[in-house]
Every structure is written in C-alpha cells, then in structure tokens.
Amino acid sequence: MLELGCGKGEYTVGLAREFQNKNFIGVDIKGARIWKGAKASLEEKLANVAFLRTRIEVIEAFFAPNEISEIWITFPDPQMKSGRAKKRLTSARFLTRYQQFLLNQGLIHLKTDSKFFYEYTLEVVKYNKLELIKNTSNLYNEHWTDSILSIQTHYEKLHIDEGDSINYISFKLNNQQLLKEPTFQNGE
C-alpha cells in the first residue's frame, strides 16, 4: 500500500502497526517531513514500512504493474487555484499514472479537510463511472468509522481542533478504463 504525500508518515506507520503482514510505503518530496515517520518505524522495529522521497508526478517509475493494492491520499494540497486541476492528486492525469502500478480494481482512499477537493474528487469519480465504495462529508459522524479511518495525521488533528469536518472517499480504479477530466462550470 502507498500513502502519497505522506508528510510525517503518521498514516503509513499507523497502517503498518495495524497490518504487520502487509507492506506500506510513504511517499513525499520533503525528506525532513518523512524523517519523523521513518524514525518512528525504526524505533518500533516495524519491518513492513519504507519511505520514498520523490515527486508524485513520476511515481509510476518506481513500481511494477499490479505491485500496489491500495493508495491512501491524506490531506493533500487541494490546488484550488484556477488551472491547477492537473496538479490535484485525484485528477484524471494522476489516476492514469496510478493505473500503471495499481492492481485492477485497486482501492484509492482520500481523506481531506477541503470541501472543494472532496467535491472535485467526487465529481471525477462520478464522471468516469468509477465504483464508489464509501463517501462522507463528515467522517467522524459516521457509524462505520473504524481503527483504520480513525488514524489521524498531524494536519487532520489541527483541522479537527478548529472544528472542521473531515471528508472521506474510497473508490476502485479500473486499470483498463480511459479516464477523462470532467468540465466544471468555472472552466477548469
């Protein structure tokens, strides 16, 4: 499993603790951020955790076809400015990259405080007729929150403390499907 834009690696390490028979890789461009997660995994002797420092724009270069079963995207930059859709980690452009190494019908999870990014991702999923698994605009008010969804990143805790709702979407990605970016009313 991958966590893209893992920051301090809280989710990567939390998942590794929960599922010690699976491997987890946190990916981020900033080494100072991932150092904390790498240090925690070493101190806890978690042999199923690794970290990769790279740009997500080239992520497909690091993995073979069908090598990854799930992708977690936790609190990414929503890239809200006009014309930034291609930089959003759930855009058709990025989903096409993920198709190159994700198992067919592999899961993608998104947790975000950004209502804008949540609604954008929901529109991408619906437009491409991807199979939506779970979807909520207020995760911690749902009864299906479990130990996995309850793992909280540094940024998530900050947003919860500020009273923000946490949005969550999970969906399956078909590797044979040609993905397209929806057209939005504001011209993005």
Residues recognised as catalytic: 77
- For residues 15 and 20, give the distance between their C-alpha atoms in angstroms, rounded to a whole number: 8
Determine which helix (DSSP H) or strand (DSSP E) holds 131, and give its type and residue range. Answer: strand 131-136
Decide: residue 61, CB within 10 A, 0-12 exposed, 13-18 middle, 19+ buried: exposed
- For residues 154 and 104, give the distance between their C-alpha atoms in angstroms, rounded to a whole number: 31
- For residues 4 and 148, give the distance between their C-alpha atoms in angstroms, rounded to a whole number: 16
Cα–chain-centroid distance for residue 57?
14
Cα–Cα distances (Å) from 73 to 26, 89, 107, in that order, read 10, 8, 11
User: What is the token pair recorded at 184?
Assistant: 């939005």
User: What is the token pair recorded at 61?
Assistant: 């270069």
| Strand boundaries in 7-130, DSSP class E | 24-28, 49-53, 68-74, 102-112
Determine which helix (DSSP H) or strand (DSSP E) holds 161, and give its type and residue range. Answer: helix 154-161
